[in-house]
Amino acid sequence: MTDNVHLGHRARKRFGQNFLHDDMIIDKIVTAIDPKPSDNLVEIGPGLGAITEPVTDLSGQLTVVELDKDLAERLTQHPFLGPKLTVHQGDAMKFDFASLIRDDEKLKVFGNLPYNVSTPLLFHLFEFVDNIEHMHFMLQKEVVKRMVAGPGSKAFGRLSVMTQYYCHAMPVIDVPPECFKPAPKVDSAVVRLIPKKPEQRTAKSTKLLNTVCLEAFNQRRKTLRNSLSNLLTADELTALGIDPSLRAESLSLTQFIDIANWIYDNKQ
């Protein structure tokens, strides 16, 4: 049980609290973020400050969004760190990240994310990509694998297509369970996300792109002719240059966009 108490705080499972305590890994994460004094930095889920402190040492100031009231209070009251932080106590999934833009300075977002909400949180952040310079997140390694997977891979799915639609994604650090207290049951990894330029994101409706992915991957073992039959016919797929006997996992990001844009133009 004592394993769940770290720096006098009992880890709350419902908030996905696994606190980092490995200095070498923390160093690697800070190096990947590369904080500078002029940066508009935002940390999601600072917790007990494992990454917050070394980042703030380099940047001088930092905005944090923390759901746990006790931890937010603890950071606000921290004698050295507190004055350098702007603490927002609340749910990052409901947070308006665009409200943090100042002097046209884009955000550099990072965090060791609560694994229980990582996918919806990523989708929330994708809505703000035009306000973001880069993001670094610690996630379950399986999730990072799915984010960076390409066509033909078993891990390729909706999360891969939507992540790669919004961002260039690359894994940067592998993190074993023993680097956390309490240790999670799964391996972790840090992913770097660099938002793509608006002109590279050519879907006419991201909602439709998401719907196409949901339908296609929901029944991933079916051919597109069957899995997408609610959205378009086999002939319509063929007219787009896409073989209807393929499965979702064979399609490229561009082909998913082509399907979504065809539906937007012809069926909306």
Closer residue to ligand SAM, CB minimum distance, 6 or 158: 6
Minimum distance between the CB of residue 86 and ligand SAM, rounded to whole angstroms? 14
- Scanning 45-53, 122-130, 141-149, 203-211 for contacts with ligand SAM by CB under 6 A, the matching segment is 45-53
Using CB positions, name the residue nearest to ligand SAM.
45
18 annotated to bind ligand: yes
Q: Which of 35, 45, 54, 244 binds ligand SAM (CB under 6 A)?
A: 45
Beta strand residue intervals within 56-105, DSSP E: 62-66, 85-89
45 annotated to bind ligand: yes
70 annotated to bind ligand: no
**Helix-, strand-, coil-residue percentages of the chain, each rounded to 5:** 45, 20, 30
15 sits near ligand SAM (criterion: CB under 6 A): yes
DSSP-based three-state secondary structure for 189: strand
Question: Count H helices, E strands: the chain?
Answer: 10, 11
DSSP-based three-state secondary structure for 41: strand
Q: How far is CA 242 from CA 11, 120, 184, in A?
A: 50, 30, 42
With a CB cutoff of 8 Å and minimum separation 6, the contacts of 150 are 156, 160
- Scanning 9-17, 212-220, 233-241, 256-264 for contacts with ligand SAM by CB under 6 A, the matching segment is 9-17
67 sits near ligand SAM (criterion: CB under 6 A): yes
Residues in 82-101 at the binding interface with ligand SAM, rule: CB under 6 A:
91-93
Sites of contact with ligand SAM (CB under 6 A): 15-20, 44-48, 50-51, 65-68, 71, 91-93, 112, 114, 117
